[in-house]
Structure formats: C-alpha cells, structure tokens
Amino acid sequence: MVMLLRSCCRVLLPHIVTCRNHHVSAKGKRCLLSRLYQPRSLWEVKASETEAKPNEPTSKSQKLMIKAGLIRPSSPGCFHYLPFTVRAMEKLIRLIDKEMQDIGGQKIDMPTLSSAALWRQSGRWDLMGKELFRLMDRHNQEYCLGPTHEEAVTHLVASEGGINNKELPLLLYQITRKFRDEQRPCFGLLRGREFYMKDMYTFDISDESAYETYRNVCDAYTNIFRALGVRFVKVQADTGNIGGKMSHEFHLPANIGEDRLLVCGSCDFSANVELLQHNEKNCPVCTGQLKETKGIEIGHTFYLGTKYSHVFKATCYDSQKTPFIAEMGCYGIGVSRLLAASLEVLSKEDDIHWPGLIAPYQVCLISPKKGSKESEAITISETLYDEIIQSVPWLRDETVLDDRSYLTIGKRVKEAHMTGYPYIIVVGKKALETPSLFEVRSHNTDEVHFFSREGVIDFLQRVKVI
Amino acid sequence: MVMLLRSCCRVLLPHIVTCRNHHVSAKGKRCLLSRLYQPRSLWEVKASETEAKPNEPTSKSQKLMIKAGLIRPSSPGCFHYLPFTVRAMEKLIRLIDKEMQDIGGQKIDMPTLSSAALWRQSGRWDLMGKELFRLMDRHNQEYCLGPTHEEAVTHLVASEGGINNKELPLLLYQITRKFRDEQRPCFGLLRGREFYMKDMYTFDISDESAYETYRNVCDAYTNIFRALGVRFVKVQADTGNIGGKMSHEFHLPANIGEDRLLVCGSCDFSANVELLQHNEKNCPVCTGQLKETKGIEIGHTFYLGTKYSHVFKATCYDSQKTPFIAEMGCYGIGVSRLLAASLEVLSKEDDIHWPGLIAPYQVCLISPKKGSKESEAITISETLYDEIIQSVPWLRDETVLDDRSYLTIGKRVKEAHMTGYPYIIVVGKKALETPSLFEVRSHNTDEVHFFSREGVIDFLQRVKVI
C-alpha cells in the first residue's frame, strides 16, 4: 500500500500572533449561543432528576452546574469540565497566577506519577493509607498519583545543590491535577477524587524570613478571595499529615461545608470548632456570642519548618556560602473546589451567580423571537453585537449572541439568568422605538436599566475581564 | 488548645484586574535573572556528564534542556518542567488554543482516571496491552490513566442525547497530560511516559462534512507549525490501534526521529518508509530521487468514521430531526514533544534556539561587570531596561535583566546564547560614549547591530509575543 501525500516542507516566516489571551474568536465572527456546547438536556427536567442517587449527598453548586451544562460526571468524584467551566477555570488560574507571581512565585510543573521511593523516604507512603492512588509500571516499579508534592519539590531543590543567597526566598508553585482516593466523593467539584490544586512551596534561610514569606502568601490568598467577591474566614488549623509548625485554613462559610466554624458576632475572632476546648459558646477574646457556621475549606497554608528539607537535605546558602537547612512552607488552594464553592455561596436556588471576574462570558445579548411583533429588531441585535465588540474590544470574546430566535425572549432570559451571565442585554420592543432602547440586566446586582445604543456601550466600558 | 485568628469576613468590592496574560510582573519591578529558578549546576560540567546513563539513548534537546536548567528528570520518562519551560509551554498552548478556536474548537477537560468499563466497551482494554497504566481504587474498581480519550468523549456526547443540527460540526478538544507506559522512554520530552497532548474530537453528520472538518484541522495544524517556523512534513499513515478510515502524521525531519521518511527532491512527494512497497529509491510520482530522512512525529490526524460513535451510540440530528450515527475524527498534537522537537531541529550543539514566538523570554539585557572600566554603565543598563518596558509594554514581562554583575559580560553573553533568548542586548563600553550605543544580538538570525537608545526601542517594537 503506497501512501503518499503532499509535503509541506516550505520554511515560511513565522506567522505572527499578537494577542495574549486564551480565547480568541476569529475576527468578525460572532459567538453564537446555538453553536456552544452547553448540553441543555436537563434544563427542562424536574430538579429531582438532576440530583444524585439516593443516599448520595448533593449540593446546590453540583445540581446547578450539571443542570446548566457546565460539568458532567464520568466516574465517582471525576467530572468532565465542559466549555463554560474551562473558560471560568482559565480565568481563575490567571487570577491566581497573577497573585502568586506578584509575590515572586515561579511556576513549575511536576509529574503526576510520583515514585514510591520518595514517599517512603518521608515516611508518608504508609501514612497516607487508602487516600493514595497507587500503581505499578510495567517494570513493577511503584508509584502514586501525587495528591501533593512536598517530597518531589524538596528532592528537586536539594538535588540542584541548594539555593544560593540571591535566589532567596524561593517560591515555586504549580497548578495541576491532584488525586485523592476519597472514601465518599460528593458535592460535585467540592469533594472529588481528581481535582485542580494550586500548590506553592517556599524555601527560606531563617525562621524570620520564612514567617515573612508565610504572611506574603496569606496576603496573596486574601487578594484572590477578595477579587472573587466572596466572604471568607481564615482560621488556625491542625497540621495533619502534612506536618510542620503552624497552619491556617481559609473557608467560605456555607451550610454544605464540612468544617464547623465558630465566628464571633462582636469581634474578629473565628476558629475551627475542632480546635476549641469544651463546648465554648462565648468568644474567648471579647466574651461576645459565638455563632456556628459551616465552612468549605478552599485554602490551606503550612509553615513546615525543616520537616522535609531535613529529610531530603535541601540547603540554603547565605552570602558567605554558609549552609542552612531550608525553612519551608507549603500553600494550597483547591482551584476547582474554589470555583464550585464560589457558586455554592453566591448562587440562588435556580440561578448561577459567578464571581464577576471569572464568569465564562460577561455578556449575553438576546435577540427577538422570529415571527414576533419585534422580529424586525433581529438585525438591530446583530448590529448592536458588532458595535459592542468594536467599541469594547476586551468584550470581543466575552459576548455571546443568543441567536436561538425560535425561542421566546422570556425563555432565553430565564436560561441566561440560570447560566449566570453577569450582563444580559435584551433587544425587545423598545429597540424599534426612536431612538432604540435596550434592556440591560445586571444579574449579580439585580438591577435593570434601559439604555440607548451609546448608553449600552458606555455601560459596558466598565466591565473588567481577566 | 484554643486556636483563634483574625477573621477576614468583610465583603469587599472585587479587586479588578485588567490584564489578560499569564505572567504579569508586579508593576515597576524588574525581572532579575539572579532571582529566576534556572539551576545552572550543570553549565560548567563537561557535556558527557549531562548525558544519560550508559546505553540510554539521548538527544540534543534533552541534553540542552537539562544543561540550561529547563527540565529535570524525576523518574523514567517523567520530568519536572522548570519555570522557563512552563512559560514556553504556556505560549505554545495559547498558540494552539487560538488555532483550534479559530476553526470552531471548544475546549473541555476530561478526567485522567478513565474507567475500565469504557475501554472494555470499545475493545481497547486488552488491545492496549502494557502501554496502559492501570490501577484500582479503594473499592477495587479498575481504571487506566488516559493515553487518549475517544471512549470518554464519545460516551459523553452520546449520553447527552446526541448533537442537534445547529451545533454541527462539533469540535471538542483538550490540552491535558496523557500517560503511556513506554517500554523504553528516552530522548527527554520527545518520548516520555507522562506528557502534554492536545487531543481534538470532531463529530459530523456526513462523510462529506467530516472530510471538510478533517481538512480544516489539518490546515490549523499547518498554521501552528508555520507559526513556529519549523520545517515539517505531512505523510499518510497507518491508523494503528486508534482505528478509522484515514490518517496522517506530521513530522519534523530530524536525525533523532524514530520514523523513517522518504522525501522527493524534485516534487511534493513524501511518505513514511513503512508504508512504501519494497525498497523504492525513486519517487512514484515523478521518478525523482527519494532521499531518506528521519522524522519526529508531532501530530497525528485520524478520520475515524463511525468506529466509536457506533459503539457508544453517538448520534447527530439533521434539521428534520432524523438521526445519523456521527462521523468522527480525532486529532492529536504532542504538545510537550513539539516543544522539545522544535529545540531539537532549531538548536545548535551548544546553544538553544527557540521558535521566536514561544521563547520563555524575548529579551535579555546584560549589564556591565562590577569593577570593570565600563561599570559606570550599570545604571545606564537599568535605565534602558525601564525605558524598554515603558515604551514597549508587551515586553514588560518578556525582558530579563541579567544583573549578575559579578560575572564578565562575555560569560553572560555565552549563557544567554545557550538559554536561547531571541534578543540579547549588551550594555558595554560603547554605552559610555556620546550618544550611548548598545549592542543588540538577534540570536536566531545571528545578526549584531549597534543602536542608540531610540534605535533599541524602535527595533524591539517589532518583536511579537503571544
């Protein structure tokens, strides 16, 4: 069988691309909702059908994300992320990257396959028990699927002969999939077996500088959660099987949360109930009343000390080349969990509310129904769409035209609210008046405005994207 | 033990971020080479020491990437990607995203853990043999680590009840880690056990439209390889254990390649030698002489037909709601392999050459040596750095200041060539003349220019980034 084909051997000048963002629609093409893969098979069914199997706990974010065509279960604790979710995840990752890099974080990428030898060296091969996914390769070498990477990163740094004075503090991080064989995965992306985590590992020469690094990372975490507009609590925490000298957890207060927190109504106090003695009802700081809330853990910081650097001999050198065992910290954010937890705390029962900055798309523009009185306004909606992406170029890839003109406006507005677009623009009857007026709904603040064409553009100028 | 902490419960207005790129240095901060994690422990050693163990094959890209502090081996066929490599990978991913989305591709993200049941349904659980990494969870359920996702995606699409007319053709893709338990992993990122792959899966309603989709994806591949400025060959290929009706491979011709290709010196003909009958020496099209070259496979396209859609019942509906079994295609690019293969074919023996567009950083600015005659120019180099990122804002995060002024200029220029910065600016003696002159070296074209301050800025204006 002779197989032959055209050759493409010409060496051409590189085709140059000037954009720096991920999702670039082809120029001049409209982003049509009818083309987007957002399976709606469940939109019409009763809520009960979107729920998990009997006895399987479920959560609001899980139900909404499945119903709105954002995720699909594949096996217990594992999900397909559909296009809307990937867009939101990429934005969340950009936000985290920015904050990590602003404090000097450098991004690396370590393998999922993690050799048993490393885990035996730290003593965690046995300690991790059934939560570790374990496997053997064709040569009967043992590996686990990394749930965290203290061993890997410390061994890496140590094997380079240590860290010189100028490189200190060294902050290495990655945003990769992690694996944990949960006994009972549940709540969708809130407690999965395969999930995205941002894990940072820091190396300092002294206690003092390590504490400063610890504070810097905590401040960056605060920036991230504030940028998302979610209410969060930071509490001191147990160091668990990670180990170390000090640890804090970041939680989003939510009924579905698996940690019980006590928050004082009168002062700044808050704590994980597990760590309080007896059954305290009053704040130990101001004696104000403690209110119990549950929390979803979205971040965890550890001051490790020399626990791992001692085992793997990771060394820092001062300006006189004197070696010191590195003081380490490790810092996690459950990235996919943070995404779902944000929806959990911000959404209404039937409508998703995204943190504005990471919504998959910022704007949904809804055209009139074909055959309706206002159907002549269909072309007006197309022109308005083109004007928006012309005048507000950063919304070029953020604006969806709901072109399903066989559906009523009402039905599409309802779906748009459910999907959670921060801004919904309806081209209805008033678009045929002189001058044209358009309804602009701000989903997250529940405001409705009628704007002229210029008013719409002015309004959208203030929408920020990442 | 009472644990209590400050609470951060205030709900603040979201902190707005306007940038859209990944790597944003804090404003006003200089990106100093002395701060970057690029372990240089091997830079001074003899080439032989960077080579693999006896009998383990090695490659130019592997040696250079290890020597220049870009990657580090963790276990056979698995590598840590260090910060420079992560930056290049992210750029390559942006390029691929752009091209995939320009042809209507929608990005999804499917789990690594892939249930054995799906693979049994397609018959590939046994067929894949030892190349599949297999494991069991705590409930003794069998999984593999997905090397490819035909089963998963077809099952996903089928379980949504099929694809309606308006959504067609449906092009879903992901860029994720894949796993293959190679008998003999080698050549660094060229043949690993854990690697990044872009895999796209397409669904069409007819043969005819499926062929059109196939051509569109091949064209997008051509755009990607051209944007990288690498010489490539497209040959018809065997469908192997993926199966289907038609298949092509994309290769970068290179001696280290594992496929033997025959390329005609007189016409467009090229073919994989495995697919030629006998031992042909002459081109079957023009009878010109065939020259043998080896190729590194970087892309593979398959027209699958209904092989998987039939098994999983993935259906398309036409405008009359008549169902058709979907005509599928699948399309891979080995992303981490493409990165390494580009270095393999572009680099010199001692110097890395990146495809300009995806170089980790575009510009390296080298300051004078402390204590040398031109040491007064150190402040000039800092000023020039600040002017560059001020006047060419897209180079803000692309310009490194080699502040290691304890080293000679010569040594740092040599290291900069080895790392492969496309543009190296040397602030030397001539910077102290009136007006100041700066040496600008274009690494990929081997040109050297002396420019004034304004000349440098003008020159850098034409550098494109992604």
User: Which pLDDT tens digit goes with each residue over B312-355?
Assistant: 999 999 999 999 999 999 999 999 999 999 999 999 999 999 99
Does the pLDDT of residue B165 top 90, yes or no?
yes
User: Contact B227/A270, CB-based, under 8 Å?
Assistant: no
Mean pLDDT (chain B) is 89
User: Which pLDDT tens digit goes with each residue over B5-41?
Assistant: 333 333 333 333 333 443 334 445 899 999 999 997 6
Q: How far is A157 from chain B (nearest CA, A)?
A: 9
Please give the Cα distance from B300 to B199 (Å, whole number).
Answer: 10
Question: A247-256, A404-413, B272-281, B385-394 — which is least confidently predicted?
Answer: B272-281
Which of B79, B234, B464 has the CB atom closest to A5's CB atom? Answer: B234
Which of A6, A113, A271 has the CB atom closest to B193's CB atom? Answer: A113
Please give the Cα distance from B99 to B284 (Å, whole number).
Answer: 34
User: Contact A275/B1, CB-based, under 8 Å?
Assistant: yes
CA dihedral B415, B421, B422, B425 (to 10 degrees): -70
CB contacts of A222 in chain B (<8 Å) are: 8
Sign of CA dihedral A26, A27, A28, A30: positive
User: Contact A106/B112, CB-based, under 8 Å?
Assistant: no
Please give the Cα distance from A277 to A256 (Å, whole number).
Answer: 24
Mean pLDDT (chain A) is 89
Let me know: does A161 contact A314? Beta carbons within 8 Å.
Answer: no
Q: Of A85, A108, A394, which to mutate for an interface test with B (greatest number of B Cβ within 10 Å)?
A: A108
Amino acid at residue number A383: T
Instruction: Give the domain ranges of chain B.
Output: 86-346, 361-460
Q: How far is B223 from chain A (nearest CA, A)?
A: 7
Chain A residue at shortest CA distance from B26: A102
Residue B243, pLDDT score: 66
Confidence of residue B278 (pLDDT cuts 50, 70, 90): low
Residue B26, pLDDT score: 44
Assigned fold of B86-346: BirA Bifunctional Protein; domain 2 (3.30.930)
Helix (H) or strand (E) holding A440: strand A438-442
Q: Of B31, B43, B99, B107, which to mutate for an interface test with A (greatest number of A Cβ within 10 Å)?
A: B107
CB contacts of A133 in chain B (<8 Å) are: 113, 135, 137
User: Which pLDDT tens digit goes with each residue over B49-104?
Assistant: 555 555 566 899 999 999 999 999 999 999 999 999 999 999 999 999 999 999 99
Which of B80, B160, B222 has the CB atom closest to A110's CB atom? Answer: B80
Please give the Cα distance from A282 to A407 (Å, whole number).
Answer: 56
User: Contact A7/B357, CB-based, under 8 Å?
Assistant: no
User: Contact B229/A14, CB-based, under 8 Å?
Assistant: yes
Q: Of A75, A118, A131, which to mutate for an interface test with B (greatest number of B Cβ within 10 Å)?
A: A75
Residue B261, pLDDT score: 87
How many CA atoms lie less than 13 Å away from A370 in the CB half-sphere? 6
Let me know: does A129 contact A141? Beta carbons within 8 Å.
Answer: no
Q: Which residues have C-beta within 8 Å of that of residue A143, sequence separation ≥ 6? A: A113, A114, A115, A116, A134, A135, A136, A137, B75
Classify burial at A138, counting beta carbons within 10 Å of its beta carbon; exposed 0-12, middle 13-18, buried 19 or more. Answer: middle
User: Contact B85/A235, CB-based, under 8 Å?
Assistant: no
Chain B residue at shortest CA distance from A144: B135
Chain A residue at shortest CA distance from B81: A109
Chain B residue at shortest CA distance from A195: B111
Please give the Cα distance from B295 to A153 (Å, whole number).
Answer: 35
Does the pLDDT of residue A61 top 90, yes or no?
yes
Confidence of residue A161 (pLDDT cuts 50, 70, 90): confident
Q: How far is A454 from chain B (nearest CA, A)?
A: 23
User: Taking Cα atoms as reference points, which of B157, B159, B158, B131 lies closest to residue B144?
Assistant: B131
Amino acid at residue number A117: A
Does the pLDDT of residue A1 top 60, yes or no?
no
Residue B22, pLDDT score: 36
Can A86-346 and A361-460 be said to share one CATH topology? no
Helix (H) or strand (E) holding B194: strand B194-204
Please give the Cα distance from B106 to A105 (Å, whole number).
Answer: 30
Sign of CA dihedral A406, A411, A413, A416: negative
User: Contact B108/A82, CB-based, under 8 Å?
Assistant: yes
User: Taking Cα atoms as reference points, which of B426, B401, B403 lies closest to residue B414?
Assistant: B426
Does the pLDDT of residue B3 top 90, yes or no?
no
Does the pLDDT of residue B205 top 90, yes or no?
yes
Q: Which residues have C-beta within 8 Å of that of residue B57, sequence separation ≥ 6? A: B186, B187
Q: Average of pLDDT values for A19-33?
A: 59
Please give the Cα distance from B416 to B361 (Å, whole number).
Answer: 11
Does the pLDDT of residue B405 top 60, yes or no?
yes
Which of B134, B161, B465 has the CB atom closest to A20's CB atom? Answer: B465
Let me know: does A101 contact B23? Beta carbons within 8 Å.
Answer: yes
User: Contact A86/B108, CB-based, under 8 Å?
Assistant: yes
Q: Per the structure block, which two tokens stand in for B181?
A: 């338990």
User: Which pLDDT tens digit goes with each residue over B120-131?
Assistant: 999 999 999 999
Confidence of residue A271 (pLDDT cuts 50, 70, 90): confident
Let me know: does A426 contact A384? Beta carbons within 8 Å.
Answer: no
CB contacts of B97 in chain A (<8 Å) are: 22-24
Task: Choose the CATH number for B361-460 among 3.40.50.800, 3.40.50.10360, 3.40.50.300, 3.40.50.1370.
Answer: 3.40.50.800
Residue A142, pLDDT score: 98
